[in-house]
Chain A
Amino acid sequence: MSTRWRLAGAVAMISIVAAACGGSSATNAPTTAPTTAASTAASEAPAGSGSEAPSQAGGGAPVTVDWWHITTADPGKSDFQAIADAYTAAHPNVKINITVLENEAFKTKLATSIQAGDVPDLFQSWGGGAMAAQADAGALKDITSDISSWASTINPGALSIYQYNGKQYGVPWDMGMIGFWYNKDAFSKAGISAPPTTWADFLSDVSKLKASGIAPLAIAGQDKWPSMHLWTYLLLRIGGGDNLSQMIQSKNWNTDACTKAGDQVLALNKLDPYQPGYKSAVYNDEAAAVGNGKAAMELMGQWAPSVQMDQSADKKGLGDKLGWFPFPSVEGGAGAPTDGVGGGNGIAVGKDAPPEALDFLKFFNSVDNGNKLNTDNVGLSTTVGTESSVKDPNLQAVLAGRGAAKFMQLYLDQATSPAMGQAINDATVALFLGASDPAKACQAITDAAATQ
């Protein structure tokens, strides 16, 4: 019952995101005409930069702030450390105890810690269903009033992902949209002049890439979620955003859109488009396949270039050869071609967090730090006024996509409860691995929803 509420909440806030992102991101594309939103954003920028000199919150008594994050790769990892060091240098009484965890280890550890009532003060969060469950468990601190003085410096749509039942439990620092990252050289070698804009074109391009001797698309069969996003996009394009929200709320996934999305996955499977070893691949393997030029595309979020770089043999990735295009439209589908699947990273605040933790959070989201994360390609900062520091043309395209989306679906496995997310991942990866059929997948998700 409470889960149902949670889902409804998640869906509601995502539609807010859509509207909100549309406004703020217009500022970062200099070529587009200025909008009214731009001026609002600009006027708020000084408030953001004001946090460069954080107010002395702790008096002087020694305080330790525990912070768990999952940015294991550089430059993000050292950026985070540098931000923490800068803060503690200005506040000698504060010690920031950083724990860097690999994603899966983080999730395991966080669950047990919350259960035991020993929650870190600040920790990685994606908002959505998992955060709602943490809030229900009393693990999070309601920071609505604590951040009210600087909440307006954060992109409101992204901020709303970290709200639950009207209360703020965390703050985003990164928000983007999933799209196709592709190898331009591989495309031109296959005789493809421009990225596909329709699904039919996409499929024919896949055939061309395959014929040119490269694996067209990299996925990760063991980690499951990368291919789940592809399925979500098909669902979104075929049935439309309202239809998807409806499915989440009604818990009935036995819909026309769901089976049709599955049919298209099978149509894609038929082309045998995936990289060798995709069935047992983890996400890093997928990124390596693209970064090393062994696969032509992956459907992934804004972090893709940095991970590709990190995972490639020469640590350079594809560089200039890397391009981005939004998920193509599906002929006859009800969804708008601008609708997106997205999400990002944020920091949730643990129930016992001292005021210094919140002060640090404010400092972390200052314009300077946001600019730093943008220029280092660690993420797409959600701090208002940082948009112009995104120099990479691909990330500018992502940012434009984030801005253009009228409807933004938070990653399905995060918008829903963890158990539901697992069920969706399991059901969809079975489609991609050729071990299921569309009707069976929709039924499996419906069955899982019924037990929630």
Chain B
Amino acid sequence: MTALSRARTGNRRSKTLAIALFLAPALALYVVFVLFPIAQAAHFSLYKWNGLTPLTEFIGLKNYQVALGSGGFVNAFGNNLLIVVLSLAIQIPFSLALAVMLNRRFPGRWVFRLLFFLPYVLSEAVTGIVFRLLLQPGAFVDSALTSVGLGSLVQDWLGDPAIVMLTLFVIVSWKYFGFHMILMLAGLQGIPKELEEAALIDGADRRGAFRYVTLPLLGPTIRVSVFLSVIGALQLFDMVWVTTNGGPLNASTTMAIAMFKAGFKSQAMGYGSALAVLLFLVSLVVALAYQRFVLRRDTDGALTTFGG
């Protein structure tokens, strides 16, 4: 009796110690290199500051006022939103369709799987540079279109403010659809084949079986994929920076580009920090809303605690 209770107390103490020790390294690294800089950005955003002089000119929320007024944040936000909408409407369904195709057994399947995921491992710098070369006026893409008689489709892909975001969307999708496809493929392979087969035997056609059996079971995976895609689209930076610098005429300036330009090009660090905070807030609101209204179902079940 006493021995057992002593063991239990010892257990509890060692449990607390284990929690602390296990959590400490990640927490320390995370607080120092992620959370602290975020707080710093919030602090800087209240100052008029060129990033060089000491931090003295406190101006309250004026940076935010400028950003939301004439500062072009709204335009940049619109560009991000366009990518979000296109990703949800095209990229995600496209990835899902390919995942379904790849979920069947056929010879050479692994080749396609290997290929489709390949762009994801290439760096944004490399992808951007290659596409920039391909899309130069008169370069490969234009010549290819012309040579198959589609010369009328030729555009100033990266130079026309009206279509530059669409071009960027294609490039971004080129790089990331494979990632989403693999996520969904993983989800699909986690669904027992028997369920769909049972539905088929019970008289459902393939489309029905997919729609009423597979798709609901794939729900959690799709929701994660959508979430990562939306957040990625909101924070789009590297690819745009390498291919267009946010141009022409800010037509492809995303929130992160606007922030970086303000901070490092115009040396308006205070203002740039305000843009950073706004970008963070937008992401946060989207994430919280998503968590609250969409992901909840998934996590409700998952949050049962295990012993320990």
A139 pairs with B159, CB closer than 8 A: no
- How many Å lie between the Cα of A138 and that of B51 in the bound state? 12
**Judging by beta carbons under 8 Å apart, are A419 and B268 in contact?**
yes
Minimum CB distance partner of B160 in chain A: A279
Picked from B51, B53, B247, the residue with its CB within 8 Å of the CB of A280 is B247
Contact A422 B265 (CB under 8 A): yes
Q: Contact partner of B267 among A133, A221, A280, A426, CB < 8 A?
A: A133
Please name all residues of chain A whose beta carbon is closer than 8 Å to the beta carbon of B99 when the two chains form the complex. Answer: none
Q: Is the CB of B137 within 8 A of A137?
A: no
List which B244-297 residues lie within 8 A (CB) of chain A: 244-245, 247-250, 261, 264-269
Q: Please, what's the 1-or-0 string for A420-448, where 1 marks a CB less than 8 Å from any CB in chain B?
A: 00110010011001010000000000010
Residues 394 to 440 of chain A near chain B (Cβ within 8 Å)? 417-419, 422-423, 426, 429-430, 433, 435
Question: Does any Cβ of B come within 8 Å of A276's Cβ?
Answer: yes
B2 at the interface (CB under 8 A from A): no
With contacts A221-B159, A280-B159, A419-B268 taken as known, whether A114 is within 8 angstroms of B247 at the C-beta atoms is no
* Chain A neighbourhood of B244, CB < 8 A: 222, 280
CB-defined contacts of A107 to chain B, threshold 8 Å: 264-265
A433 and B248 contacting across the interface, CB-CB below 8 Å: yes
Contacting B at CB under 8 A, from A115-163, are 115, 133-134, 136-139
Cβ-based interface call for A278 (8 A): yes
- Which chain A residues lie closer than 8 Å to B268 at the CB level? 419
Give the residues from 153 to 180 in chain B that come closer than 8 angstroms, CB to CB, to chain A: 156, 158-161, 164
Q: Is B103 an interface residue (CB 8 A)?
A: no
Task: Say yes or no: B51 contacts A221, CB within 8 Å.
Answer: no
How many A-B Cβ pairs are below 8 Å?
82
When chains A and B are docked, how far (Å) is the Cα of A139 from the Cα of B158?
A: 38
Instruction: Tell me the interface secondary structure of chain A in the complex.
Output: helix
Q: Are A418 and B70 in contact (CB under 8 A)?
A: no
- In the assembled complex, B138 has its CB within 8 A of some CB on chain A: yes
Determine whether the beta carbon of B267 is less than 8 Å from that of A419: yes
Contact B52 A277 (CB under 8 A): no
CA A447 to CA B70, docked complex, whole Å: 10
Quick check: B159 and A279 within 8 Å, CB to CB? yes
Contact B52 A279 (CB under 8 A): no
- In the assembled complex, B127 has its CB within 8 A of some CB on chain A: no
Interface of chain B, main secondary structure: loop
Are B247 and A222 neighbours in the complex by a CB distance under 8 Å? yes
B265/A433 in contact, CB under 8 A: no
Q: What separation, in Å, do the CA atoms of A137 and B53 have in the docked complex?
A: 4
Whether A419 pairs with B266 at a CB distance below 8 angstroms is: yes
Q: Which of A115, A134, A139, A435 contacts B161 (CB 8 A)?
A: A435
Q: Is A451 an interface residue (CB 8 A)?
A: yes
Docked Cα-Cα span, A417 to B244, in Å, equals 24
8 Å CB interface, B24-72 against A: 50-53, 66, 70
Cβ-based interface call for B136 (8 A): yes
Interface assignment of A111: CB less than 8 Å from any CB of chain B = yes
Residue interface mask A54-65, B partner, CB < 8 A = 1: 000000000000
| Minimum CB distance partner of B159 in chain A | A279
Nearest Cβ distance between residue A341 and chain B, in whole angstroms?
A: 21
A111 pairs with B267, CB closer than 8 A: yes
Cα A114 to Cα B136 with chains together (Å): 36
Distance in Å: Cβ of B158 to nearest Cβ of chain A: 4
**Complex Cα–Cα for A396 and B50 (A):** 40
Complex Cα gap A368–B194 (Å): 85
Contact B159 A133 (CB under 8 A): no
The interface residues of chain B lying within 8 Å CB-to-CB of A133 are 50, 52-53, 267
Nearest CB to that of B62 among chain A residues?
A451
**Residues of the A chain whose Cβ atoms lie less than 8 Å from the Cβ of B245:** 222
**Candidates B51, B158, B159, B164; contact of A115 at CB < 8 Å:** B51
CB distance from B41 to the nearest CB of A (A): 13
What separation, in Å, do the CA atoms of A252 and B110 have in the docked complex?
A: 65
Contacts of B53 in A (CB 8 A): 133, 136-138
Taking CB atoms and an 8 Å cut-off, the chain B residues in 215-230 that contact chain A are none
Given the known inter-chain contacts A115-B51, A221-B247, please indicate yes or no for A280 contacting B265, CB distance below 8 A: no
13 residue pairs A–B, Cβ–Cβ below 8 Å: A107-B264, A111-B264, A133-B52, A137-B50, A138-B53, A221-B159, A277-B137, A277-B138, A280-B159, A417-B267, A418-B50, A419-B266, A426-B250
Binding site for A on B (CB under 8 A): 50-53, 66, 70, 136-138, 156, 158-161, 164, 244-245, 247-250, 261, 264-269
Smallest CB-CB A-B distances: 6 pairs: A279-B159, A137-B52, A277-B137, A280-B159, A419-B266, A280-B158
Query: Interface on A for B, CB 8 Å cutoff?
Result: 107-108, 111-112, 114-115, 133-134, 136-139, 221-222, 276-281, 417-419, 422-423, 426, 429-430, 433, 435, 447, 451
* Known contacts A137-B52, A417-B50, A435-B249, then 12 further A-B pairs from the complex at CB < 8 Å, ordered by chain A residue: A111-B51, A111-B267, A114-B51, A133-B50, A277-B138, A277-B156, A279-B161, A280-B247, A419-B50, A419-B266, A433-B161, A451-B66
